[in-house]
Amino acid sequence: MLFNSVEFFVFLVITYLLYRILPFRGQNIMLLIASYVFYGWWDIHLLFLIVLSTVIDFYSGAMIDSGRLSRSHRFFCSWSIVLAALAFDTIQWNAVYLTTSNFVSVQWSQLFPSALSGWLVFLGSVALVAIGNLLHPRCVALKEHKRRKFFLWVSICANLGILGFFKYSNFFIHSAQETIHALGVPVEYWHLNLILPAGISFYTFKAISYAVDLYKGKMTASYEFLNFALFWAFFPPLLAGPIDRASHLLPQLSNPRQVSFQQSAEGLFLILFGLFKKVAIADGVAGSVNAIYETAGAVSWIDVVAATFLFAIQIYCDFSGYSNIGRGVSKLFGIELMLNFDLPYISKDPSEFWRRWHISLSTWLRDYLYIPLGGNRKGELRTYQNLMTTMVLGGLWHGAAWNFILWGFYQGTLLSAYRVFTPKESKKHSEASKSQGFGNLRGIAAIVLFFIVTCYGWLLFRANSLAQVMTFTKILLADFGNFTLRMPKPPLSAMLGIPLLIGYEILESFKANRPHFNIRFDIPARAIFYATLIFILLMGTSNAPAQFIYSQF
């Protein structure tokens, strides 16, 4: 279900009205059901992965924390997996449909698969549950440090195993086949027919952070399965973040909430602003970007420059637009998600950029990868190695393609070069002056220069292949000054929306304490701004709707 769809707004209105009339526990049950409906709208079969991962992490968390889990909890976990396998992966719900008389009709012969393959997931789930229950007494009997470490790795390996299987299997199979073929050995090409679960990278990282924080003693485990399942599947950030950690989100879901008028107003503005970014700008420029990056014909220097600039706008508006909507919807339920974007394109250096762009991922990589690798505590050479490792793996997180790895290598190189050539005093001054916006002319020049550097990184990110990276890089260097523009002009909604967005963010950059949801003008000016957003948004509804870019990761 897309945020920018009619179905979502019908779904949101129904969910919100039910939320307002239900007591606290009823709210959580309803939100959990709504989250499963939201995710299952993509493909109901994928809900089994959500339930499976939820149970694994709930059980592992309890074993890491105290080593105890009640018989009723284990019974509930066991049946959750079995029934989820039956309901979401075995039963064929397309055999159930409404007749013209609005009666439910079932084609019983097609409700259950006749082939054995249709039962494999169900039988495998039953076997997994049986083995888990048989091993439970031995797991409880383990010494504390062994038990804690064992279940930490159970959680990490289970989540990374699911992620790796669905996201990277075909990438490694294809790479191995290409390597064998390059050696002159004939090979038959094949791949696995897998559906990539939407948002799998986001909820995998959320699960890993929960297990690691428990192991480090930063929090205690949740023993309320309903609250934990809601934390795992809460629908506003589920597909593309922010990657909120359990220490921040679980307490909000586990305790009664009050929704203030101010919080609702903030939420509505964030939803409006996020839709404006996505529908009017991101979807508007998508056709122009695709016309260059998906063409097989000749392109000019200005084509590459213009398409790459527009892609920088597209990916920012698409991704931050999702975060805006997700945060806004959460506010309507009295739940606060972390800020994920902080005006990243006014950054003056790579270090500042990663403090502003996809903050939930950059801080996750810092806390759970860069620092455990040693961070900057083991000498300069090891620091550069840790930076490169972190960013390359961060690039691979985005997708199973060599251009993402190259993009990660590029970002790691920028961070390492910045560390080499910038004195420590300048770094401290740069971080201290982060809230000063554009500053003087030197600051403006630094912003423009680094934006150009960032845009080349987006070329690596958007390119369809390494061959296209090389071709477009060659055009940038050898075809400089060719202004023969073949790229189609973006629609009016994007041409009006981009300057409005830039102007708004410039104003925001001059505020020391930005609210990130409103502009502090008087009521007439604010009304004009909102009306302009709505007008351009309505213009943008004629743009071809597109899936959010980061929900594919």
Q: Render pLDDT for 202-232 as a digit per residue (tens, 0 to 9).
A: 888 898 999 999 999 899 998 999 999 999 9
User: Which of 205, 233, 256 is the C-terminal boundary of a domain?
Assistant: 256
Q: What are phi and psi of 105, to 5 degrees?
A: -120, 145
For residues 188 and 287, membership in a common domain is answered with no
For the stretch 400-448, pLDDT in tens is: 788 899 999 999 999 999 988 886 655 555 555 554 556 678 888 999 9
25 has a pLDDT exceeding 90: yes
For residues 246 and 274, membership in a common domain is answered with no
217 in a structural domain: yes
- Low-confidence winner among 20-34, 121-135, 191-205, 368-382 (lowest mean pLDDT): 191-205
Q: Which of 45, 145, 398, 516 is catalytic?
A: 398
For residues 229 and 320, membership in a common domain is answered with no
User: Which of 202, 232, 256 is the C-terminal boundary of a domain?
Assistant: 256
pLDDT band at 286 (very low <50, low <70, confident <90, very high): very high
Instruction: Give the separation between CA 13 and CA 183, rounded to whole angstroms.
Output: 59
For residues 210 and 276, membership in a common domain is answered with no
Q: Would you state the pLDDT for residue 484?
A: 86
pLDDT band at 94 (very low <50, low <70, confident <90, very high): low
For residues 54 and 120, membership in a common domain is answered with yes
For residues 243 and 274, membership in a common domain is answered with no
Q: Distance of alpha carbon 516 from its chain centroid, rounded? A: 20
Neighbours of 40 (CB within 10 A): 16
Selected residue with higher pLDDT from 477 and 432? 477
410 in a structural domain: no
For residues 249 and 300, membership in a common domain is answered with no
436 in a structural domain: no
CB burial of residue 286 (10 Å; 0-12, 13-18, 19+): buried
For residues 325 and 242, membership in a common domain is answered with no
545 has a pLDDT exceeding 90: no
For residues 268 and 252, membership in a common domain is answered with no
312 in a structural domain: yes
- Low-confidence winner among 349-353, 375-379, 391-395, 513-517 (lowest mean pLDDT): 513-517
Which structural domain range is residue 273 located in? 262-348+484-552
What lies within 8 Å, CB to CB, of 270 at 6+ separation is 324, 325, 327, 328, 331, 517
Instruction: Give the separation between CA 355 and CA 343, rounded to whole angstroms.
Output: 10
Find where tokens 């070329």 sit: 459
354 in a structural domain: no
213 in a structural domain: yes
For residues 112 and 212, membership in a common domain is answered with yes
For the stretch 287-326, pLDDT in tens is: 999 999 988 778 899 999 999 999 999 999 999 999 999 9
Which of 108-122, 346-360, 387-401, 477-491 holds the top average pLDDT? 346-360
Q: Does 45 participate in catalysis according to the annotation?
A: no
For residues 250 and 270, membership in a common domain is answered with no
Fill in the amino acid letter for 445.
A
For residues 53 and 86, membership in a common domain is answered with yes
57 has a pLDDT exceeding 70: yes
Q: What's the number of domains the chain is made of?
A: 2
pTM of the model: 0.87
User: Which of 213, 233, 256 is the C-terminal boundary of a domain?
Assistant: 256
Tell me what percent of the residues of the chain surpass a pLDDT of 90. Answer: 49
pLDDT band at 532 (very low <50, low <70, confident <90, very high): very high
Fill in the amino acid letter for 456.
Y
Tokens for 233, please give them: 């599947």
293 in a structural domain: yes
| Helices (H) then strands (E): counts for the chain | 22, 2
Instruction: Give the separation between CA 212 and CA 228, rounded to whole angstroms.
Output: 16
Q: What is the mean pLDDT of the chain?
A: 86
Provide DSSP, 89-156.
IIS-GGGEEE-TTS-EEE-HHHHS-SSTHHHHHHHHHHHHHHHHHHHHHHHHHS-HHHHHHHHHHHHH
What lies within 8 Å, CB to CB, of 218 at 6+ separation is 247
92 in a structural domain: yes
